[in-house]
A and B are shown apart, each in its own frame.
Chain A
Amino acid sequence: MTKIDPIAPTGTVLNIQHFCTHDGPGIRTTVFLKGCSLRCKWCSNPESIHPKPELAYNPGKCIGKAQCGLCLKPPFPEGAMFVVDGTDDKIHVNWDLAAESDAETIGLCPTGALHMFGRMMTVDEVLDEVAQDGSFYRESGGGMTLSGGECLLIPDFSAALLAGAHQRGINTAIETAGNVPWRFFEKVLPHADVVLHDRKVSDPERHKKWCGVDNVRINANFEKAYATFPDTKFIARTPLIPGVNDDEEHIRAVLASIRPYPNVIDYELLPYHRYGESKYEFLGKVYELHDFQSPSPESLSRLRAIIDEAFGRGSPSAQNPA
C-alpha cells in the first residue's frame, strides 16, 4: 500500500476507541488526540487537554507501601508520592511535585496504578489499528473519527491520518471545537467527509467565561468552512449544560448561523453528563462544575423541537419527551 508520507509525522494519541456509534455515521473507530485550545468547565475528558503524555494515578490499582513502595524512592522525584499515616498505606500523589515525572520512571510502577495518559504514535501505527475494523465500516457505513482534545491543533498529523484513511478506503470524520487559526482548517478539512463541530455558547462574553476564550474566531472559522468546503457534510453540536446554554436564544443563534448552508445537515444537542469527574481525581485536577445537573427531558425536548422545526422535520421528541 502506498504510504502518504515517507517520514510519518507523530502525534500524541490518547486512546483508540473501537465500535463507537455516536461519533459520525455507522460503526466507527474514534482516535482521541491529546491537546485542546479551550478549557470548558464541564469538560468530560480532562486527560485530553494537555498536549503531551501526562501522569495519572489510579488508587484502585495501588498495592501500597508495605507490599511495594517503589514510588517513594528515587528515581521518583522527591516528595512526589507519599503515604498518609493511619488510614491505609496507599500512595497519594503530590501533583505539584509529581507532574514532571518522566514516562520511564512512571513505568516502574508494577501495577500500573501510576501510568501515563497518552502515547506518541505514527500515522501508520494509528491507521494499522483503525484498519482492523474495516469489515465493520463496510457493513455499517462507518469509518474513522478523529476526536480530542482538539484534533485540528496538530493539523499535519490529523491531515495525514485522514488522507491515509481515505487511501485505505475508510470514511473519515472529525470532531472539532474550531478554536484554531484558519490555516489549520485549510490543511485538515479537505480530507474529512464529515465535520462534527461544537457550537457551545453563542454570546462571546459567556463563551469566554465558560470556555476560556471568546467565540469570535470560532464562529468565523465555521461559517468560512461551510462556504469553502461545500461537499463536506457538517453536523453542529451543542453539549447542553443547564444554566450555561440551555436557552432558546442560543439554539436560535446557532440555527441562524448554520441554516443558510445546505451542507450543514443537522444540529444535535448532547445532554450533559457528569462523566469525567473521577478522571479529574486521577489527574489531580479540580473539577470546576461540581454542581451542574443534566438537562431535564422536558428542556431537551423543547429545544430539539425548535431544531426540528428549523430543519423542516416533524418533532416526535416534542410529543414524547421520554
Chain B
Amino acid sequence: MSSPTKRIAINFGGGYVPGLNALITGTVMAASEIGWEVVGIRDGFDGLLFPDRYPDGGLLRLDRAMVEHLTGASGSVLGTAARSDPFHVRTVDQDGMLQEEDRSDALLESIRSHGIDALISVVGPAPLSILWKLSRKGLKTVAVPKSVENDMAATALSFGFDSALAFATETIGRVSEAAQSVHAIGIIEVPGERTGWLALQSGTAVCADAILIPEIHYDLHKVAAKLREKAKAGRAHALVVVAEGAAPLATQAAPTGLTVDPLRASLSPGSSGDAGAHVIERSGHVAERVALELQRLTNHETYPLVLGHLVRGGPPTAADRQLGLAYGAAAVRALHDSQSGVMVSFQPPDLKFIPLAETINKVRTVPANSVFVQVARALGISLGD
C-alpha cells in the first residue's frame, strides 16, 4: 500500500563522517522519483529547535538539481550536531540561569507545523536512542546507520567506515615509511572506543607489526618481545596500530583506586571515587601510554600519532558513495511502504529494515574467530595476546 507521505525531512545526528552528501543525494533523488518533497534540517535538530540561529532558516529545501552532483563531495550541506538532543535542550530561563529542558513535544509540533510527514535520520550509535524515544512519541522515522568505527551491530556496514578505512590505511602507510627511514617505532591511534574494526583492517592492510584492539586485551611485554625479535633480525623499525579503546590485561591495568589528594578532594567532591578499570580519558591517551611503555620495554624510540578526527573528513570512497545512495533510497522506500521506527541495514546482498528497538545497545565487536583476526595472525601480526 502506498504511503500518503508527501514531504519528508532528513538530518544528521552524532559525529561527522566522510561524504554525508551522498546520503542526501540518495534520499532526494529517490523521493523525487515518487513525487515527494525533501527538506533538510540543519545541524541535527537545531534547525527546528533554534530557528533564530539561522538567518536563512533552519530548514533547507533540497531538490534534485541541487544534490545530484553532491555524491562525491566532501562535507555536508546540512551540517551535523554531535549532540542534538531534544529531550535535554540547554536554555536560559527568565532569571537568566542555564538549565536543560525537555523540548521533544515542541520539536514534534514544529515538525508537524512545517508539514513534514516523516524524518530520515542519519545517526551513529548514541543518537539512535534519541530517535527511538521520538519514534515512541509518534514521530514517523527511518534511521540510517553511520559510523567511522563500524560499530553498529544491526548492519554489516555503516556509512562512512569505508572512507575512514581508506584514509587510515593511506596515512598509516606513510607513517610506516617514515618509521622505516628514521629506524623508529610508529604508534598510530585510530578511532575505535568499543570496537577494533578500523585498527584491525587498516593495520592488516599495511602489514603492521602489532594491532591492539578493545576486544583483545593486550600484554605489551609480548608485543615488545615480538618487536625485539624483529630488531635482532635486522629490522630496525616497527609499526603498531592501536584502537583508542584498546586496554591492557587486567594485571597491567592502571590502579583502579584513586588516592585521595586533599587538594583534589577540596576542589572536586566526587574525586575520591573509583575510576574503574579503564577510563578513556581523551583521544591520544592510549597512543601515549603504549608508546611510553614500548619505548621502555624495547629501548627503541617510539613516535605516537593520533588520527582522531582526521579520519572523519575528506571525500567518500566509491563504496561509500554507493552505500550512501543505496541507504538514502532504501529509507525513502521504507517510508513509501509505510514502515516507521526502523533502521536500514545492509545484510549482503540485501538491504533490510530492522526495528529501532532491536538496534539500540548493540555493538558490533570483532569476534575472536573473525576472519580478519585469522588473517592478521596468519601474517604474523601480534594482537597483543
Q: Is B274's CB under 8 angstroms from A213's CB?
A: no
- Interface presence of A161 (CB below 8 A): no
A residues neighboring B (CB under 8 Å): 14-15, 17, 19-23, 30, 32, 36-39, 44-45, 47-48, 50, 56, 58-61, 79, 82, 84-87, 92, 94, 96-97, 117, 147, 153, 179-181, 212-213, 217, 270, 273-279, 281-282, 286-287, 290-291
Residue of B nearest to A28 (CB): B266
Q: Is A82's CB under 8 angstroms from B267's CB?
A: no
Q: Which residues of A contact B275 (CB under 8 A)?
A: 60, 278, 281
3 closest pairs, A vs B, by CB?
A: A60-B276, A37-B97, A15-B269
Q: Which residues of A contact B263 (CB under 8 A)?
A: 22
Q: Is B273's CB under 8 angstroms from A279's CB?
A: yes
Q: Which residues of A contact B214 (CB under 8 A)?
A: 87
Q: Is B363's CB under 8 angstroms from A85's CB?
A: yes
Which of the listed residues A217, A270, A277 has the most CB atoms from chain B within 10 Å of its own CB?
A: A277
Known: A179-B97, A275-B268. A84 touches B194 (CB 8 A): yes
- Interface presence of B322 (CB below 8 A): no
Residue of A nearest to B258 (CB): A278
Q: Which residues of A contact B90 (CB under 8 A)?
A: 39, 212
Q: Which residues of B contact A21 (CB under 8 A)?
A: 262, 266
Q: Which residues of B contact A48 (CB under 8 A)?
A: 269
- Interface presence of B279 (CB below 8 A): yes
Given B83, B264, B357, B368, which contacts A275 in the complex, CB threshold below 8 Å?
B264
Residue of B nearest to A275 (CB): B268
Q: Is B96's CB under 8 angstroms from A217's CB?
A: yes
- Interface presence of B295 (CB below 8 A): no
Which of the listed residues A22, A147, A179, A278 has the most CB atoms from chain B within 10 Å of its own CB?
A: A278
Q: Is B256's CB under 8 angstroms from A60's CB?
A: yes
Q: Which residues of A contact B82 (CB under 8 A)?
A: 286
Q: Which residues of A contact B270 (CB under 8 A)?
A: 14-15, 45, 47, 56, 117, 279, 282
Considering the chains assembled together, what is the distance between the CA atoms of A21 and B262 in angstroms?
A: 8
Q: Which residues of B contact A85 (CB under 8 A)?
A: 363, 365
- Interface presence of B367 (CB below 8 A): yes
Considering the chains assembled together, what is the distance between the CA atoms of A220 and B100 in angstroms?
A: 25
Which of the listed residues B95, B130, B267, B280 has the most CB atoms from chain A within 10 Å of its own CB?
A: B267
Interface string of B75-97 (1 = CB under 8 A from A): 00000001101010010100111
21 contacts between A and B (CB under 8 A): A21-B266, A22-B267, A32-B269, A39-B98, A45-B270, A58-B273, A59-B277, A84-B363, A85-B365, A86-B367, A86-B368, A87-B194, A87-B365, A96-B133, A97-B129, A273-B267, A275-B264, A277-B281, A278-B276, A278-B281, A281-B280
What is the CB-to-nearest-CB distance from A11 to chain B, in angstroms, rounded to a whole number?
14
Known: A37-B97, A213-B96. A290 touches B283 (CB 8 A): yes
Q: Is A79's CB under 8 angstroms from B357's CB?
A: yes
- Interface presence of B354 (CB below 8 A): no
Considering the chains assembled together, what is the distance between the CA atoms of A84 and B90 in angstroms?
A: 31
Considering the chains assembled together, what is the distance between the CA atoms of A19 and B97 in angstroms?
A: 32
Q: Which residues of A contact B298 (CB under 8 A)?
A: none
Residue of B nearest to A23 (CB): B266
Given A44, A50, A86, which contacts B366 in the complex, CB threshold below 8 Å?
A86
Q: Which residues of B contact A180 (CB under 8 A)?
A: 95, 97
Q: Which residues of A contact B262 (CB under 8 A)?
A: 19-21
Residue of A nearest to B262 (CB): A21
Q: Is B282's CB under 8 angstroms from A37's CB?
A: no
Q: Is B194's CB under 8 angstroms from A179's CB?
A: no
